[in-house]
Amino acid sequence: MTLLEVTVAFPIVLVSIGMFVQMLTGGTGMRDASREAGAAITAAQTAIEEMRNERFDQLLPLFNADPLDDPGGPGTAPGHRFRVDELVPLDAAADGMVGEIILPVRNAGSEVAPDWEIREDLVLPELGMPRDLNGDAVIDDLDHSDDVSLLPVVVVLRWQGRLGEQEMRVFTVMTELY
Amino acid sequence: MEVMLASALMAVVTVKVHGVMTTANCANTEATRRIVLEDKARRVLQQIAVAIMGANRETLIPEIASPASMSDVRYQVNLGVENGEVIWGDPERIALDEPNGAVFWSDNVGTATERRVTWTRIATPFLEGELPNGMDDNGNGLIDEKGLCFEVDRNAVRIRLTLENVADDGQVLTETVETTVTCRNLTTVAE
Amino acid sequence: MKGWSRSKDAKRGAALVASLVVVTIVAMLGAGYLQISSSLMRRQTHAVDDQHAFYLAEAGLAEAFQAVRMGRSGQVGSETDPARHGNGIVWVDVLELEDCSVRLDATGMQGGGRASLSLVVEPIDNDLGFFADEDLVIDQVILVDGWDSEEGSYSEQAGLEQITIDPTYPYLHVDELERIVFYEGTFYRYSSFDGTVMSVEESASLSRLVNLPGASTYGVELDDFTDESWESDYDPGAEYDFVKAYFQGSPGAPESGGGDSKRDDDDDDEEDDDDDKGGYGADHAPPAPGADGAAPEADGGSPSDGGGSASPQSDLGPTTGGGALLGSNGSIHFNLPEGQSAEVWGDVRPGPGRSVTGMGTDVTVTGETEPRAMEVELPEVDVPVVLQQPPVRHDGLLPMLLAHGSYGYESIEVAVDAELVVRGPATLVVGGLSLEPGAILTLDTRGGEVVLYVTGTMDLQPGSNVETTSDEPDKMTVQVSSAETDPLVPGVNLEATSQFHGTIYAPDTGVRIGSDFEIFGGVVAKRIEVGAGAQLHFDSAGFEGSALPDIVGWRVIEVPPVAQQAGDPFRLFGVEPDTVQALSVAHDLGAVEMELEFVGTDGVERSFAGREDQFDWNQVERVVRVDRTPDRPKAEPSGGEDPVEPPPDEPDPVDPIDPARVDVAMDIASLSGVALKNALQAKTPLTTGDSMLLIDSWKLGPKEVKNLLVASTPLDDAPLERLLEAGSKINSKELEDVLLACTPLSPDVLALVESNPAGILEDGERDKVLQANR
């Protein structure tokens, strides 16, 4: 054994250990990412199921962005954003929320006096919009808050994950069943 | 001299390598145990969730809301439709067997033919952070809830589950998961 | 020295060798960790994808349910031509069962996730209108027509022009619910104007309420001022306090007089001679009964246009001139006394094989009288469970208010001059409901829907009042679950005075509709009795009483074979995501025969009859009337749905064999050796149930079993536990391979590896498995 050999062997060992640590870190990152995904899908499931537990005609006031139209009084409804304890919100999320419920709605009012409408003519491809929402097979430019019978829903979760910013979208459609 | 120096260097490197590997191994083992535990918890949670989604709401018992909760639900599931009538199965049960830490599903409850399937054997007696003291210790709105607990809100059931894994070295890992599901079958039981 | 030298030579390169050993160990460890991580990732990703797929399948069910509600078949995409939604694909197969209920099987696929859900629904004919389960006998004066509440008020569609009311006029009063109180003796539809100035107190007993939406302009059905002195004083050019424009067909023409046909029995009324003039007078003679060509909507299809265009005239009051739907599961008999008439401005549809009889000159039916193709099943009322409070008799001065929520009473009696207000959204479940003369029931639906469930009888006595604050019938539903015991005593007696906007559903009891109970909506009942002069207006848009298909049952079912293959669904189907049809346009319209009347984007009213896939919906501005007849595949006569699936992870899912897995079961039962191995290999990855069948079969050798199970990873705990607990035709080495392929193992499986109950694992293999999982 000579110093030369050790000098040659040393970097080899170091490089291999470096690679090992990298693999370990990468593996751990992957596992953390899948853990986060598990938490995210469970949170999305909870959000969708809580929507299902409400009367269909109350979904808009309960889950839109307007706290003033909440059926139980201003600010009493869950709203369109929700927290997920296991996930770290993005820095950009000023309200500290991870989840968001997206509905085919448009604010026809102002920020101060919002007037949320369910519209068939919105162009939201991820919701399958524009499309018929009240069962008359016609796509029009009217507010269907009162007669909507089919509601495409996307639950979006955005969080600061171990591997950077992460996003999950869960797609479903709800209808007036009862 | 050179050999001694080289050997010493190699020894140092070897010791360091061993140290790094051991530390990494420990960290990795714990991370793996945790994720396996969480994976297990979510799987059991989903098994329970799917069972409750298919349950007949009218037959779901007990009807109980916060701050009380139960670690035992009974229900009947839709087995199919014949001649326009839903065939409802025999009463089924999902419960926590506290002494054994087992979450189990069973049917033909209370009869000689009762079948029981254990979904996990590592559930905790009480939900994470909860003590049997008549108070809400973990701040979830429930009092003295068990390691598996159900809370009913109209057609929805909130399910919470805590699993615990004890390693060879005595280290305890705990994982709590929860979700809400709604019963899809809101019809009454056929006569 | 030479030996030393040789020894030194021998040690030359030792550091490199040692470093290589370290590198090798590190590489192996790294590979092991990576394998564990990727295996974990796979399991988690699979679980996440399963949930995505579940909600895609739910989306498919919602889409199909909506389709059935619309009268379409419910087939959405297919397994050969699925639909895309979000990041996955979905399709719904439909099957009509023997009892005419419809089974919808939805399959969702995203990534490696798969889910199949089944929903059985009973489609209800949306167009029941006024429908009796038993024979329907019309032996009194009656007017039946229809309108579409989505297109505006009944008044507008009946061609009644709006009037402007000055709320300050002393004989009109705006109450706290923003309703106008009209005083009967002074000024009201079909009433005479007696010219007497009455104080509010004096006229209070004659007052009636008409809904007003805050604004002072409102289309009230105010169509007839028969006071001659008023007529003579009327100046068409002047603006009056309370009247600006005036009724249909003859704006500003009070001299046309007006019939009091609704109140023919008011013999003491000085205006009764109007009858002699022929309803609205000679200028507005009714069409010849039964003469199709005489009526503008002679096909009976749709209500006339609103906006004051000419509408047909009637002996019995203003009408939209179309849209009526009078139906029965039995026959429909017109049996009118001499000199009395019945007008149905639309269809009269008896039950299958039945007919409409008594169509003399005194009966006008402008639409079809063909029998229905199918008998209509009237599903039971599902009464929600609401805590029942003791019986209540309300006789206080202040109204009894039930606001926003669910209420239950064993019975409610509203005494003379007392008022009950139900403010929506609300659900009220009562054992019995009765209104005494003078009592008022106000159903305030401005904040949301009111659903009234009656489990006993409903008795709205003559002289009582029922007010609905909204003119949208879908906001108010009455459902009666009781069964009548005496056919002579209907369970629902509607003798109150009302312009009731809502629907009434009483499948097991009769409904008597008094002459003052004017209904805007629909009634479905076991039997319908109609009082003289009754007016029934069917809302073709808002018929809530049975518009929603009834849900029979929901359950998770086995994923169909085509979806059991692992992998990305778009790759499996060999399609690019962008080329797959969207869920909303994947309905099977070729299976739907449609009759449609619509207003095109050019404003012209047109009609269409044919397969819906041949129709371009882009040319439609609005639908006037649509009638769909879906063609669904029928279940085999042996019928029913696939019975019974085992519960999740049932201990013995192979007994009984699930029909959906029968092909694997058949393979195992009928094949052996290489043939069996090849057959099962083609079906990998095996489902949990299939894996259990394989393990329990003991028909293949250890290596084959191992290969099939490894090809089916990640495996659930159930087959692994079965291998460890019950054994199989598998050896220690193969079992180790299977367990390593499924590493990391769950704590439950690891516990079984440690205890090794079946003794298959030898110590060496067991240690390796445990080591790999530490």
Specify the pLDDT at position C461: 94
Count CB pairs under 8 A between chains A and B.
71
Please give the pLDDT value at position C269: 35
The residues near C92 (Cβ < 8 Å, ≥ 6 apart) are C60, C61, C63, C64, C74, C75, C76, C77, C104, C105, C106, C107
Contact A17, B17 (CB under 8 A): yes
Give A144's contacts (C-beta < 8 A, 6+ positions apart).
Answer: A117, A118, A119, A120, A133, A134
Which ipTM value was assigned to this complex?
0.94
C331 phi, psi to nearest 5 deg: -90, 165
CA distance C752 to C725: 7
- What is d(CA C190, CA C225) in angstroms, rounded to the nearest whole number? 7
Where would I find the H helices in C151-212?
154-157, 200-203
> Quick one: how far is CA C735 from the chain centroid?
52
Q: What is the dihedral of CA C346, C351, C355, C359, to 10 degrees?
A: -30
**B187 → chain C, closest CA residue:** C552
Of C338, C320, C306, whose CA–CA distance to C151 is shortest? Answer: C306
Q: How far apart are CA B101 and CA C554, in angstroms?
A: 32
Q: Go through C382-392 and write b for each residue having 16 or more CB atoms within 10 A of its CB, e for each that does not.
A: bbeebeeeeee
Classify B47 as helix, strand or coil.
helix
Please tell me the distance from the alpha carbon of residue A69 to that of residue C333, in angstroms, as a whole number.
51
In 10 A of CB C528, how many CB atoms? 28
3-state secondary structure C466-490: EEECCCCHHHEEEEECCCCCCCCCC
> Taking CB atoms and an 8 Å cutoff, what residues of chain C touch B100?
none
Say what the pLDDT of residue C32 is. 78
Chains that touch B (3 or more CB pairs under 8 A): A, C
Measured torsion, CA atoms of residues C451, C457, C462, C468, in degrees rounded to the nearest 10:
0
Tell me the shortest Cα–Cα distance from B96 to chain C, in angstroms.
Answer: 16
Structure tokens at C725: 């607990």
Q: Do the Cβ atoms of C343 and C313 come closer than 8 Å?
A: no
B15 at C interface, C-beta within 8 A: no
DSSP element (H, E) containing A12? helix A3-52
Chain B residues whose CB is inside 8 A of the C106 CB are: none
Residue C510: what pLDDT? 94
So what's the pLDDT on residue B60? 81
The answer to whether residues B87 and C644 touch, using CB atoms and an 8 Å cutoff, is yes
The b-or-e profile of C569-605 (16+ CB within 10 A means b, else e) is bbeebebeeeebbebbebbbbebbebebbbbeeeeee
The helix (run of H) or strand (run of E) holding residue C91 is strand C88-96
Q: Which residue has the tokens 């994947």?
A: C586
HSE on the CB side for C453, CA within 13 Å?
19
Question: What CA–CA distances, in Å, run from C233 to B89, C250, C255?
Answer: 77, 18, 11
Higher per-residue confidence, B65 vs C153: C153
| Chain C residue numbers touching A141 (CB-CB < 8 A) | none
**3-class secondary-structure state, position A16:** helix
- Residues in chain B with CB shorter than 8 Å from the CB of A1 are 3, 6-7, 10
Block means of pLDDT (10 residues each) for chain C, length 774 residues? 50 75 82 78 88 96 92 91 94 88 94 93 75 92 87 74 40 43 36 33 39 33 34 38 28 29 33 30 26 32 39 69 88 88 89 83 85 69 88 90 90 93 92 93 89 94 89 88 86 92 93 92 93 87 52 89 87 89 92 87 89 92 82 72 46 36 60 71 77 76 82 82 73 85 84 81 84 79
Cβ–Cβ gap C555/B77 under 8 Å? yes
First-to-last C-alpha distance (Å) of chain B: 96
- Which helix (H) or strand (E) segment holds residue C497: the answer is strand C497-513
- Per the CB < 8 A criterion, the answer to whether C77 and C589 are in contact is no
pLDDT of residue B53: 93
pLDDT tens across C548-582, in order? 677 888 999 989 988 888 889 998 888 889 899 99
Collapsing DSSP states into helix, strand and coil, what is residue C356?
A: strand
| Contact at CB, C744 and B32, closer than 8 angstroms | yes
Q: Which of A3, A13, A45 sits opposite B17 (nearest CB)?
A: A13
- Note whether B39 and C44 are within 8 A (CB): yes
CA dist., res. C583 & res. C67, Å (int): 12
B140 vs B67: CA distance, rounded Å: 9
* B77 contacts C647? CB cut-off 8 A: yes
Decide which of A157 and C635 is more confident: A157
Half-sphere exposure of C102 (CA within 13 A, CB side): 27
Using CB atoms, which residue from C20, C33, C59 is nearest to A24?
A: C33
DSSP-assigned beta bridge partners for residue C208:
C182
Residue B108 pLDDT level (bands cut at 50, 70, 90): confident
Higher pLDDT, C72 or A2: C72
Interface A:C, Cβ pairs < 8 A? 166
- The verdict on A21 touching C (C-beta cutoff 8 Å) is no
User: How high is the pLDDT of residue C495?
Assistant: 93
pTM (2 d.p.) = 0.61
Residue B71 C-alpha from the chain's centroid: 11
Residue A37 has pLDDT above 80, yes or no: yes
Min CA distance, B130 vs chain C (Å)?
23
Kindly report the nearest CA distance between residue A135 and chain C, in angstroms.
6
pLDDT value for C761? 83
Contact: A42, B31; criterion CB under 8 Å: no
Q: What is the pLDDT of residue C479?
A: 94
Residues of B in Cβ contact (< 8 Å) with C647: 51, 77, 89, 92, 105, 107, 117
Closest alpha carbon to C495 in C538, C452, C457: C457
Q: Which of B1, B81, B93 should one mutate to test binding to chain C, selecting the residue with the greatest count of C CBs within 10 A?
A: B81
In C531-591, at which residue ranges do the beta strands (DSSP E only) sit? Answer: 534-539, 550-557
Task: Report the C-alpha dihedral over residues B29, B34, B36, B41, rounded to 10 degrees.
Answer: 170
Helices (H) and strands (E) in chain B, counts: 1, 9
Q: Which helix (H) or strand (E) holds C26?
A: helix C14-70
Contacts of C516 (CB under 8 A, 6+ apart): C462, C495, C496, C497, C498
Long-range contacts of C613-616 (CB under 8 A, 24+ apart): C613/C589, C615/C589
Is B31 an interface residue toward A (CB < 8 Å)? yes
Contact indicator for C57, C116 with CB cutoff of 8 Å: yes
C745 contacts on B by Cβ (under 8 Å): 36
**Rounded-to-integer distance, Cα C123 and Cα B73, Å:** 33
Which chain A residues are closer than 8 Å to B7 by Cβ? Answer: 1
Q: Which two tokens stand for residue C567?
A: 């992998």
Is the Cβ–Cβ distance between B95 and C637 less than 8 Å?
Answer: no
Contact at CB, C62 and A173, closer than 8 angstroms = yes
How far is C724 from C722, CA to CA, in rounded Å?
A: 5
Q: Quote the pLDDT of residue C7.
A: 53
**Cβ-proximal residues to C636 (8 Å cutoff; 6+ apart), any chain:** none
